[in-house]
Chains A and B, each alone.
Chain A
Amino acid sequence: QITLKESGPTLVEPTQTLTLTCTFSGFSLTTTGVGVGWIRQPPGTALEWLALIYWDDDKSYSPSLKSRLTITKDTSKNQVVLTMTNMDPVDTATYYCAHFIYYYGSSGSQYNWFDPWGQGTLVTVSS
C-alpha cells in the first residue's frame, strides 16, 4: 500500500522560505517510471502543479514558479523536499505531494498520473 504524508510549517511570514517534506512508503523512488510531485490548491480554487522529481533525479517545475522552487529527494529516507522562496500571501494554499507514474507511448505521447495523494498540509502566509 502506497502512502504519502506532507509535513512542514503551517504559518510562514511574507518573504520567508517555505520547506515542505513528503515522507512516503510502499514504493521506491529508484524504480523506473516513478516520481513524486507537488501540487497546491489555494482555498476554494483549482489545483496547480508545482514540481516533479523522477526516479532518475530528473526534475521539472511549473514555468511560472520555476525561479522560486527547488525539489530534491533522499531515497534512503523515502523523502522528497520542496522549497519555495520569497513566500507571499497569495501562496496560501493546501500543499499536496503525490505518487506519480509515467510512461511514453509509441508516438512520444506521455501517459502520466498522480495516485495516491497525501492528505495535504495547509500553509498560511501572513505576518
Chain B
Amino acid sequence: QSVLSQPPSVSGAPGQRVTIPCTGSSSNIGAGHDVHWYQQFPGTAPKLLISGSSNRFSGSKSGTSASLAITGLQAEDEADYYCQSYDSSLSGVVFGGGTKLTVL
C-alpha cells in the first residue's frame, strides 16, 4: 500500500492529452513538499521527468494532490509513471503506486 495514490492505468490516443493524478495527504503533498515524477520503461531504471525538458510533460499541485499532464501523446510515451514526495510524519521519501500509460 503506497502512501501516495495513483490509478493503476490510464490510456489515450496519439495526439491526445492525458493526466495522471497523485493523491497524498496533509503530511506530504498537503504540507507543501515538492512532487516529482519518474518515467520507467520495462526492464530499465526509473528516470526523473523534468518539466521544461519537454514541453509535452508538465506537473501541477493543488492541496493534497498533484498531477502529471502529457500533451500530444506519442507511442514512445507508453511507460510506467511514478510520483514521489517527502512525508513529514514518516520523515522520509514516499512514492506513488505507479500508473501504466497505454497509448491506444
| A113 located at the interface, meaning its Cβ lies under 8 Å from any Cβ of chain B in the complex | yes
- Say whether B96 faces chain A, with CB atoms less than 8 Å apart: yes
| Cα(A111)–Cα(B92), bound, Å | 12
A117 x B47 contact (CB < 8 A): yes
Tell me if A117 and B93 are in contact (CB < 8 A): no
Is B55 part of the binding interface, using a Cβ–Cβ cutoff of 8 Å?
no
B46 within 8 A of A: yes
Which residue from chain B places its CB closest to the CB of A118 in the assembled complex? B45
- Please give the number of chain A residues whose Cβ is less than 8 angstroms from any Cβ of chain B in the complex: 27
Closest A residue to B3 by CB, please name it. A49
The answer to whether A46 touches B82 (Cβ under 8 A) is yes
Q: A46-B96, A52-B92 are in contact. Are A105 and B32 (CB under 8 A)?
A: yes
Interface residues of B toward A: which range?
20 to 34
A109–B86 alpha-carbon span in the complex (Å): 9
CB distance from B36 to the nearest CB of A (A): 4
Contact A116 B48 (CB under 8 A): yes
CA distance A1 to B16 in the complex (A): 35
Asked whether B104 is an interface residue with its Cβ less than 8 Å from the other chain, the reply is no
- Residues of B50-104 at the interface with A, using a CB-CB cut-off of 8 Å, are 82, 84, 86, 90-98
Contact A49–B34 (Cβ < 8 Å): no
Binds B, one of A19-27, A60-68, A82-90: A60-68
Q: List 26 A-B contacts (CB under 8 A).
A: A37-B93, A46-B82, A46-B97, A47-B38, A47-B84, A49-B93, A52-B93, A60-B91, A60-B92, A62-B92, A63-B90, A63-B92, A105-B34, A107-B32, A109-B34, A111-B33, A112-B36, A113-B34, A114-B38, A114-B93, A115-B48, A116-B45, A116-B47, A117-B46, A118-B45, A119-B45
